[in-house]
Amino acid sequence: KRGAGGRELRTPPENAYVQSLMTQLDQATVEAKTTSEEMQNINAQIATVTRRLDSTPKREQELVLLTRDYDTTRELFKSLLTKRGEANMAAELEQKQQGESFRVIEPARLPERPAGPNRFRLLLVGLALAIGAAGAAVVLAEQVDTSFRRVDEVRSTLPLPVLSAIPRITTEHDRTHGLRQRRWATAAICVGLCVVAGTSFMVAHDNEGLVALLTGSTSQTATASGR
C-alpha cells in the first residue's frame, strides 16, 4: 500500500510464516553484504600479494647486486689489511735495521724435480757392487774349499793313479738339502742387495760431494746458488 506522500507502507504480516520469511530475507541480506565486504578484502589482499610477487625478481636482482658489492668490498678490505700489515712490518724493519729496506725481488719457487740423488744411477752402482761382492764371495769360497768334485782334480792334485770313480748317487735327502741351500743362497743375495742399497743411502746421505759425483748436479747447484 502507498501513503499520501507516495511512500510504500509495509503492512504487518498476516501470519507467523510470512514473518519468518521476512526475517530470513533480512538475515540473507545482511550475510550477502558481509560476504561482499569479505570478498572485497580478499581481492585487496590478492592484489597486494600479486604486487609483491611481481616485485620479487627485482628484489632478487637487488640482493644479488648487494651481495656482489659486499664480496668486492670484503676482498678490498682484506687487501688493504694485508698491505697495512706489510707496511707496518717494513716500517719496523727500517727502524730496527737503521734505514735498511728489504724487498722480495723474486718469489721462491718449488723445484719441478729433485736435484739428487739420481736413483737410477745409484741403483746401477749398487747392483754393480752387489754383483762384484757376489763374484768375490764365489771366488773366495772356491779357494777355501779343498774338496774334489771331478776325477781330473784328483789326478792333477795327487801323485797316485785313480783306479775307479764312483758316480754321485743323489738321494731325496740330498735333493732337499740342495734345494735348501739354493733358497739360502737366494735369501743371502737379497739381503746383500738390501745391505748394499742401505749402505749406499747412508753413505750418500748429507754427502754433497758424493751426490754431485753420482748425479752430476754440481752445475745445477751452482746455478741455483748464483740466483
pLDDT band of residue 184 (cuts 50, 70, 90) is very high
Terminal Cα-to-Cα distance of the chain (whole angstroms): 122
Residue 154 near residue 148 (C-beta atoms within 8 A)? yes
Q: Among 207, 200, 49, 182, which Cα is nearest to 130's?
A: 200
Whole-number pLDDT of residue 173: 85
Mean pLDDT value across residues 14-36? 81
- Average pLDDT of the chain? 75
Retrieve residue 43's grid coordinates. 581481492
Q: Please indicate whether residue 219 or residue 167 has the higher confidence score (pLDDT).
A: 167
For the stretch 187-209, pLDDT in tens is 988 888 788 778 777 776 666 66
Q: Among 188, 216, 213, 187, which Cα is nearest to 200's?
A: 213
Whole-number pLDDT of residue 221: 43
The answer to pTM > 0.85 is no
Place of cell 640482493: 63
- pLDDT of 126 > 60? The answer is yes
Q: Please indicate whether residue 32 or residue 213 has the higher confidence score (pLDDT).
A: 32
12 upstream amide cis, omega within 30 of 0: no
**Secondary structure (DSSP) of 83-122:** HHHHHHHHHHHHHHTTT-----SS-----SS-----HHHH
Mean pLDDT value across residues 3-7? 48
CA distance 162 to 227: 80
Q: Among 227, 134, 151, which Cα is nearest to 188's?
A: 134
Q: Please indicate whether residue 202 or residue 225 has the higher confidence score (pLDDT).
A: 202
Whole-number pLDDT of residue 4: 47
Among 44-48, 53-57, 80-84, 98-102, where is mean pLDDT lowest? 98-102
Beta pairing partners, 2: 8
Whole-number pLDDT of residue 227: 42
The amino acid occupying position 12 is P
Angstrom CA distances, 82 to 86, 104, 108, 120, 177, stand at 6, 15, 19, 46, 76
